[in-house]
Amino acid sequence: MPSEEYSAGTISRRIALKELHKYVSSSAYIAEDIIAPHGHLLVPKGTRLAYLGASLKTFEENLRLWGFLSIPITMQKAFDVADLESILQTARDQIPNIDSQLTQETITQIENVFSRITNGTCSSQDVSLLAEQGRTIAKEVSRAPQLMLCLGKVRRWDRYTYVHSLNVALLSGFLANRIFPGRPEIAENVSVGALLHDLGKALIPLDVLNKPGSLSDEELTIMKNHAVLGFELAKSNGIKDLSILSVIRGHHERYSGNGYPDGLTKNNIRMEARIAAVSDVFDALTAKRVYKDAITSREAVSIMIDSMNEHFDPAVVRALLVSVGLFPPGTGVELSDGSLGVIVGSRGNDLMRPEVLLHIDNTGNKVKGLKIIDLSKSEDLYVRFPINDVGKTAF
């Protein structure tokens, strides 16, 4: 392993002459003047290796004649937001992911059901079709290991509730698969329940629902009623499964018993509702609203860990933490060997070793094609530090 030194925007290392050919197409340049034993300048500092071109072999032979076996080089760590966006788009195109048409259809379907509830024309068929969409989503989630790249940010405040419902369904199904591998029925039920979990908000006055600021005690009471209203709406429109209904009624129950509407504690809250509660709060924290800015995934998980034993099932928060990791999907990172990439997900339990889509290899050259490294399977590689965070993608 060559010796290395890091500074802002660069990485310096000493490389063997026989390795020179690997760096010719990179941003590498000579880090120091190369001076012959008698004091004659052979190669000035700042010479780009790319400029050597066809003369590389002669250059190497001449250095060997003067007794050099290695030279110091410096590489630029060029990695801007445009790079990140481009890499993420490659990931979305080539890694199994949630179908974008399905997400658009689901958001529109949620919006239509809310509208019909508001004007009193909602039918059992409307709710049944939306529930069926939730089952489709659960199947999609099981095939999308990099789900955290799929969650969409809300571009219009008036669509928040619909996109939020989809995000909670996606994340709930994903966490259920992590906690209960081989139990697809749990992921399906929690996805359906999460998709329907805010139905009751269709009956909450808009001036309360979208109020830019703190709610009064009276307004808070009205808002809290949405869990019971949604439960009753779903039940009266043909939803009979208790695990689905528990998500709708119980996604604001809290582990310590200080939630609503029933003040349930710990295992008295069905697991499906405990999973949805974590997903609901995580997405709410990371969304930009009319009354607050979004925070990063990492900040959201930190807040939830602080409240873990009081508000949330610790097992579900741990599953979320492993999924998000210390470096959330969409974060540009530099690895321990100097290569650059973007976090696309996490399969193992080591928070420092997620899956990384490589962009620039350790010789400073751009990686061709799709190359994903699972750091949990590598003993030598780890994330040295994050470079940038693109954040959530938009539907």
One DSSP character per residue, 133-177 reads: HHHHHHHHHHT-TTGGGTPEEPSSGGGHHHHHHHHHHHHHHHHHH
Q: Do 305 and 256 share a structural domain? A: yes
Q: Do 348 and 298 share a structural domain? A: no
Whether the predicted pLDDT of 12 surpasses 90 = no
In the chain, the percentage of residues whose pLDDT exceeds 70 is 81
Whether the predicted pLDDT of 43 surpasses 80 = yes
What rounded mean pLDDT belongs to the chain? Answer: 82
Give the model's confidence band at 333: pLDDT under 50 very low, under 70 low, under 90 confident, else very high. Answer: confident
Q: Do 71 and 113 share a structural domain? A: no
DSSP-assigned beta bridge partners for residue 12? 5, 74
Residue 339: inside a domain: yes
C-alpha–C-alpha distance, residues 189 and 184, integer Å: 9
Q: Do 357 and 254 share a structural domain? A: no
The residue ranking higher by pLDDT, 48 or 186, is 186
Whether the predicted pLDDT of 74 surpasses 90 = no
Residue 88: inside a domain: no
How many domains, in total, are found in the chain?
Answer: 3
Q: Do 123 and 203 share a structural domain? A: yes
The enclosing domain of 305 has a CATH number of 1.10.3210.10
Q: Do 250 and 378 share a structural domain? A: no
Residue 139: inside a domain: yes
Rg (CA), the chain: 26
Residue 299: inside a domain: yes
Structural contact between residues 190 and 272, judged by C-beta atoms closer than 8 angstroms: yes
Residue 94: inside a domain: no
60: containing domain: 4-76
Distances (CA, A) of 82 to 86, 88, 139, 385, 391: 6, 10, 32, 19, 13
Q: Do 204 and 104 share a structural domain? A: yes
The residue ranking higher by pLDDT, 91 or 38, is 38
Residue 165: inside a domain: yes
Whether the predicted pLDDT of 123 surpasses 90 = yes
Q: Do 358 and 232 share a structural domain? A: no
Q: Do 313 and 337 share a structural domain? A: no
Residue 218: inside a domain: yes
Would you state the pLDDT for residue 10? Answer: 64
Would you state the pLDDT for residue 149? Answer: 57
Q: Which of the listed residues 293, 324, 355 is the one where a domain comes to its end?
A: 324
DSSP-assigned beta bridge partners for residue 360? 340, 366
Q: Do 261 and 358 share a structural domain? A: no
The residue ranking higher by pLDDT, 149 or 36, is 36
3-state secondary structure 1-44: CCCEEEECCEEEEEEEHHHHHHHCCCCCEECCCEECCCCCEEEC
DSSP state of 365: P
Q: Do 243 and 103 share a structural domain? A: yes
pLDDT digits (tens, 9 = 90+) for 357-394: 888 887 777 787 778 888 888 878 888 777 754 444 33
Here the tokens at position 46 are 């700042």
Q: Do 62 and 177 share a structural domain? A: no
